[in-house]
Amino acid sequence: MKDATNTPFAQGYRMPARFDEHARTLVTWPPIEEGVGTDVPGFRNEIEVLVRGISRFEPVTVIADPSDVEEARVRCGDVAEIFEAPVDACWIRDNGPIFVRNDAGNVAGVHFGFNGWGGRAVCEKTTSMPSKIVEHLGMTCFRTDFIGEGGGMSVDGEGTLITTEQNMRNINRYAGMSRKTVEGYLHDYLGIEKVIWLPLGLYEDAATDGHVDNVVEFVAPGKVLVQLAEKSNPNYDLLQENLEILHSTRDAKGRQLDIIAMDVLPYSTEVPGHRLAIPYTNAYVINGAVIAPEVDPKLDDRGFAILQEAYPGREIVPCRSEWQAVGGGGIGCVTQQVPTSKARED
């Protein structure tokens, strides 16, 4: 049972949006355990390039397992802080802390429950890793057993959250839990006033059961980037259904959503034996830039142009992410923003 008086919302905290100003970005150095299903050296090469790209715009903290900390320091220590903590997997958006902020500008971390994406992966070290990061950052840490995978949530920073039924009510995480109960936890721990429920994530996204960040992302209050696909694509019908729901719903402020269509869905074949969906929608917005997956020369210009429309005034920084995709995620999955400390102006 949760203590309603000791939740972040009860103490004035709410989750800022991904596009809000960052104090820094967290990235996890891929541990050897990532070798199940992907290529660790290739994965680490992508992460090093990613860390260096982000570090041009904001501070980066790389979390490395004790067995990997020296390599992380050699490869990234000149551009990032290296913090030693137990690590099972590189997907910090899902297995790391999520950050909230109160009206006075104080930032705190929430250590959610995590069960390895419905029991698919080892997650013993993750029981301590999020709290260690929050403590290292000198913040208050709130804890709950409720599972809160960041890739399953897109928030506008003003009380609205978009998720999928496939993920946020999956029996392998939330057996017997009603929408109302899920919404109650999201309210109490992230300050969410309105949840917009979509049925499904990408057809190819079996590993995480349809995370929303592959199909929809808030790019500003009242504005969303929405993934679409061609009629021949197996995602076409489900993405059209998502689009219809988003057209017909309103956010926590009563606004009808302004929709930017991401009408290209690229697939990479750079990794032998794999045809990988790597959506531009799962880019990562940072201070002054957008880190975007570089996938297909025939489609990248179109995808980057739409990202530029979604995030005007920010530099598009392309990064390869094939080995991340083999492992089950992308650029938005291996990063987690820490919001700046700033008082609420309204």
Tokens of 298: 């025939």
Q: For residue 38, what are the β-bridge partners?
A: none
Residue 294 Cα distances to 202, 217, 322, 336, angstroms: 19, 18, 9, 20
* Helix boundaries (H) for the chain: 40-55, 69-76, 92-95, 116-119, 129-136, 165-168, 171-174, 179-190, 236-248, 300-310, 322-327
Beta-sheet pairing, 141-147 with 107-113:
parallel
90 tagged catalytic: no
Cα 246–Cα 252–Cα 254 angle in degrees, nearest 5: 75
The active-site residue, picked from 90, 123, 319, 333, is 333
Q: Which residue has the tokens 């998720």?
A: 163
Q: Closest Cα to residue 309, out of 329, 334, 283? A: 283
Q: Indicate the Cα dihedral angle 80, 47, 278, 113, nearest 10°.
A: -70
Q: Which long-range contacts (CB under 8 A, 24 or more apart) does 34-37 make?
A: 34/89, 34/90, 34/327, 36/121, 37/326, 37/327, 37/328
Contact between 13 and 101 (Cβ < 8 Å):
yes
Would you name the residues annotated as active-site residues? 333
